[in-house]
Structure 1
Amino acid sequence: MKKSVLTITLNPSVDKSSSVSNIIPEKKLRCNFPKYEAGGGGVNVSRALKRLGISSDTFFTSGGRTGRLLEDLLQAEQLNILPLHINAETRENFTVLDTSNNKQYRFGFPGELLTQEEQNEILNRVEIMNPLPDFVVISGSLPTGTDSNFMKQLVNTCKGSKVIIDTSGEALKAAVEEGVFLLKPNIGELAVLVGKDKLEETDVDQAAQLIISQGKAEIVVVSLGSQGAILFSAAEKIQIEAPHVEVKSTVGAGDSMVAGMVSVLVKGGDYKEVLSMGIACGSATTMAEGTGLFIKENAMHLFNGIWKHL
């Protein structure tokens, strides 16, 4: 039976990207024509799933002129969108590539506080979904000033689904306290979750297994950036190195990794395939310019290469 997926993005964005040669302070820089793309954690997960042939419902907040543009961009990609209209303007992010040295500069803006009424409406919208989706991906940051306890409430509302969380800071801690199916921290975030200032590489196994043994997650995927990732479950530890690719941009790589993993989970694949596809999609996205996501053919080529060497 086909599994259903819902992505939730509380702080989406419209990502604007451009390029210019030789960035110099106080000089008027004449950039190339900008490119606009939908952004934000869960939004990017849904966009990436679409490229892998997996349909999902895309639930996100939307406000003002930028929110309308975000909705238009997602409809152009033929996603099934569930926007919740809010008072504040949807945020924008800006990325610029200096073509003289191939260095990328990323400027992220905060989202405005969600009102208590808007938070209640988000919880209500999820609660009345019938049936609840098989997988719920809550990904991305909380808008500035929004109490992290709201993340805990949201995860609790999603109980009955397999919740996949990819956020950071207090929001991540709150979600894990409530308990999730899968979480994807980096080593620094994992350290915070187990009450440490930092973790040595040899401590990662113990930290991940502690979270699993406490019932806070069934699967912990520790992202190692360009070195790949490690997947932990109660019975397994799987470590896979990332393939060597020409990195043009890291925007959306983490979201693409989540999408790759979800695309296998909905088909009932094993954890080795889950991690392999996640790393393949994340790596393929780094090959794209600006804020673009992966090309499916690149992701599958990388996946086949990873799988062949396991």
Structure 2
Amino acid sequence: MPTIVTLTMNPALDITTSTTRVIPTDKVRCGAPRRDPGGGGLNVARVLHVLGADATAVFPSGGHTGRALEDLVVTEGVEIRSLTIRGSTRESLTINENETGLQYRFVLPGPAVTAREQIACLDLVTEVASDADYIVMSGSLPPGVPADFYQRAADLVVDLGARVIVDTSGPALRQLRGGVFLVKPSIRELRDWTGRELSVIDDQVAAARDVIDRGVCEVIVLSLGAEGALLVTRAHDEYFPTVDVDVVSGVGAGDSMVAGVVCGLACGRSLSESVRYGIAAGAAMLLTPGTALCRRADVEQFFALLTDGSAAGTVAG
């Protein structure tokens, strides 16, 4: 099995709970909390472990929250290489409102990471990735980290022969210049990146191919949410439907999709098969509360549905 490394610069301790109704200014009594590791690359590594394609998770960690996060990840069986930083790892809060079925997600910014700590993170990921086949850089960047950090990391590890996969947003996405194998934006993120409306599928393909033609990456897997996904390369584009499921929580679905794609590639599947496997993993994640892990049996079932053509999906335009 090829070696996979994930980089998470802004990990979080995710807390999920529920209440009858969220009411301003009143005390809101909640149920028992669930605590899970969170942050893009960490979620990818956790799902990869469930799917049987283990990864080493690299991330900065600080304070009591950081130590609790590390304990949770290790307990799940994921190999970690953490870097101790001065600031405390952030927490995120998800509240499910029982009366309405609405979900409220409160995401804190994370600790400031000093310039020296950033260099140490780059050194660590380069060390761990010395014999890696895939490097997944996923999630937001914490305060103090420049928007081109993922590009700087890609410049370092691509020389090692690894395929770089990036899933981020905003300035960090716009700062990508090259050396990346695959990028997985959402439709909103691609709109922000290209400044286009992208209301029809032909425009979405054209925008993705423009990014590829600029040399930023070789492959774009465009997440369309409930409408499925698009795979775009310089010479090929393909639409994939999704699987209709009863959604419990949308937290971590995008990370699970990335994990499924990487797992597929690492197992020798084609790009098209790997995207289907990613869609299946994302759908399976929708069935679980908070950032609780998806179940491999659900992923395999949904992948079979997508592969034999029995899953239905439509795309606007």
1:217 — aligned with what? 217
Moved more, 146-155 or 280-289: 146-155
Give the CA RMSD over aligned residues.
1.4
- 1:96-245 to structure 2, matched below 5 A, reads 96-129=95-128, 131-159=130-158, 160-174=161-175, 176-194=176-194, 196-201=195-200, 202-245=202-245
Q: Is the 8 A contact 1:188 1:198 kept in 2?
A: no
Counterpart check, 1:83 vs 2:115: no
1:298 positional shift: 1.2
Taking the aligned partners of 1:149 and 1:261, their CA distance within structure 2 comes to: 24
Q: Is the 8 A contact 2:63 2:86 kept in 1?
A: yes
Unpaired runs of at least 5, structure 2:
311-317
Q: Which amino acid aligns with 1:304?
A: A
Name the % identity: 39
| SS in structure 2 of the partner of residue 110 of structure 1 | coil
1:299 — aligned with what? 299
1:252 — aligned with what? 252
Moved over 4 A (4+): none
Q: Which amino acid aligns with 1:25?
A: P
TM score, norm. by length of structure 2: 0.93
1:146 positional shift: 1.8
1:144 positional shift: 2.3
2:19 — aligned with what? 20
Q: Is the 8 A contact 1:151 1:171 kept in 2?
A: yes
Q: Is the 8 A contact 1:63 1:85 kept in 2?
A: yes
| SS in structure 1 of the partner of residue 59 of structure 2 | strand
Taking the aligned partners of 1:33 and 1:186, their CA distance within structure 2 comes to: 32
Taking the aligned partners of 1:230 and 1:91, their CA distance within structure 2 comes to: 33
2:68 — aligned with what? 69
1:130 positional shift: 6.5
Q: Is the 8 A contact 1:96 1:290 kept in 2?
A: no
Unpaired runs of at least 5, structure 1:
none
The number of equivalent residue pairs is 307
Q: Which amino acid aligns with 1:126?
A: V
Q: Is the 8 A contact 2:264 2:273 kept in 1?
A: yes
Taking the aligned partners of 2:108 and 2:3, their CA distance within structure 1 comes to: 32
